[in-house]
Amino acid sequence: MGMTLTQKILAAHAGLESVTAGQLINAKLDIVLGNDITTPVAVNEFRKAGFDKVFDKDRVAIVLDHFVPNKDIKAAEQSKQCREFACSHCVSHFYDVGKMGIEHALLPEQGVVTAGDCIIGADSHTCTYGALGAFSTGVGSTDMAAGMATGTAWFKVPSAIKFNLKNKLPSNCSGKDVILTIIGMIGVDGALYKSMEFTGDGIASLSMDDRLCICNMAIEAGAKNGIFPVDEVTKAYMNGRCERNPVVYEADADAEYEKVIDIDLSKIVPTVACPHLPENTHPASELSEIKIDQVVIGSCTNGRMEDMETAYKILNGKKVADGVRCIIIPGTMQILRECVEKGYYTAFIDAGAVVSTPTCGPCLGGYMGILAAGERCIATTNRNFVGRMGHTESEVYLASPATAAASALTGYITHPKEV
């Protein structure tokens, strides 16, 4: 029996000719990632286990992004611990204030991750890098500690679901609408510990930002990872960017999948996930009576340049509705700079929005956009659990940048073609 794309990568990193679903393997790692929340825990475990050096200073990445610039004393202490560890071990890929970004937007942009990699990160949305044809998955801080020291990790090889994408998205839809539609179809445990493998001729019409967004939310369906094959779009993105040579793997023609799900991209509509699960999806056009208090456009899901461009096209020359707080957060410093140079920041400010340095802040209810009881937020983030963005009696609605920006102008959840 042939292997899926994920299984090909895992077999290669385990030094095996083949692997099968359910098999336990020990695989070599290309990148071990942590952030300002998870790295301090990993550092403590690293030291407790008696480790005194990282396996490769060029293969460890530490990104300060969740509470940076620091929101309080505890956040400052955590960041300090990360800085001291990165300095003492000469970690090459350490990103602090001024050159940081939201980790899952930053690492692809900087070429730290590439096709064919095996990557673990102490953050659940590490599955983002599957957009580049890599195997990447989230782990706990203890596994991060072991990975930093040994350069290896244990995995149970996942089975796979194939998503066959065909045709092209409507102009007012993006990758966010695709993944919300899929999660609405299969549920938050519909791909539990499985690989979500995206194939089909529709892939060619999806931008790299679309693919990064789709893989980012594979975890919201319970998946171990999400992954796209490497095509001309991927190669163009990686060309001159990646610090290591990409390795391209392909699924075998006789690879075994638990099921195949066909997705007609041309039939996707602007979609919103209502409280309090990402699977609670509805067309934006059906939610026009829901009044909102806050809009957040950003996060590791939708803080990339295409997302900023979408927000600009909708907000430029218009005004955010009275009573609505609109917060826009570019994913990296490079994206922030490009927004400034293109005049997007001026347009956002003129529209009545506030703009921020890159941070995860509001997504996890950290800072820069906490909700009070009874408040509603439409956000381009990835989770809308009870209390995710603040008070347990607040509500979070997940949507694309187009739907979020359109809603900012009306004060109600709004289909992006209605403004």
Amino acid at the residue 215: C
CA atoms of 329 and 218, how far apart (whole Å): 22
Same fold, 5-264 and 274-410: yes
| Res. 387: pLDDT tops 80 | yes
The CA–CA distances, whole Å, from 100 to 45, 51, 215 equal 25, 27, 22
Under a CB-based contact definition with an 8 Å cutoff, are residues 144 and 34 in contact? Answer: yes
Under a CB-based contact definition with an 8 Å cutoff, are residues 268 and 205 in contact? Answer: no
Tens of pLDDT, residues 289-343:
999 999 999 999 999 999 999 999 999 999 999 999 999 999 999 999 999 999 9
pLDDT of residue 1: 76
DSSP string for residues in 62-75: EE--SSTTT-SHHH
| Res. 166: pLDDT tops 60 | yes
pLDDT of residue 417: 83
* 5-264 carries CATH number 3.20.20.70: no
Reading the block at residue 413, the tokens are: 């959840």
CA atoms of 387 and 139, how far apart (whole Å): 23
DSSP string for residues in 283-313: EGGG-TT-B-SEEEE-HHHH-SHHHHHHHHH
Amino acid at the residue 66: H
419 — pLDDT class (breaks 50, 70, 90): very low
For 366, counting Cβ atoms within 10 Å of its Cβ (0-12 exposed, 13-18 middle, 19+ buried), the class is: buried
Query: Any idea what DSSP says for residue 279?
Result: T
**What's the mean pLDDT in 109-113?**
97
CA atoms of 327 and 401, how far apart (whole Å): 12
* Confidence (pTM): 0.95
Q: Name residue 93's beta-bridge partners.
A: 61
pLDDT of residue 5: 97
CA atoms of 258 and 316, how far apart (whole Å): 46
Under a CB-based contact definition with an 8 Å cutoff, are residues 246 and 134 in contact? Answer: no
Q: Which of 382, 179, 176 is nearest to 263 (CA)?
A: 179
**What three-state secondary structure class fits 190?**
coil
Q: Which of 67, 89, 88, 86 is nearest to 78 (CA)?
A: 67
Spell out where 5-151 has E strands.
24-28, 31-35, 60-63, 93-95, 118-121, 135-138
Pick the CATH number of 274-410 from 3.40.640.10, 3.30.499.10, 3.40.50.920, 3.30.43.10: 3.30.499.10
Tell me the pLDDT of the chain averaged across its residues.
96
CA atoms of 413 and 393, how far apart (whole Å): 19
- The percent of residues above 90 in pLDDT, for the chain, comes to 98
Tens of pLDDT, residues 182-241:
999 999 999 999 999 999 999 999 999 999 999 999 999 999 999 999 999 999 999 999
CA atoms of 27 and 153, how far apart (whole Å): 6
Q: How many CA atoms lie within 13 A of 20 on its CB side?
A: 1
pLDDT of residue 418: 54
Main-chain phi, psi angles of 305, to 5 degrees: -60, -40
Spell out where 250-375 has E strands.
259-264, 271-273, 281-283, 294-297, 325-328, 354-355
CA atoms of 209 and 169, how far apart (whole Å): 14
**What three-state secondary structure class fits 382?**
coil
What are the structural domain ranges in the chain?
A: 5-264, 274-410
Q: Which residues lie below 8 Å from residue 374, measured CB to CB, with a gap of 6+?
A: 391, 393, 394
CA atoms of 299 and 277, how far apart (whole Å): 18
**What three-state secondary structure class fits 326?**
strand
Tens of pLDDT, residues 43-99:
999 999 999 999 999 999 999 999 999 999 999 999 999 999 999 999 999 999 998
CA atoms of 8 and 20, how far apart (whole Å): 10
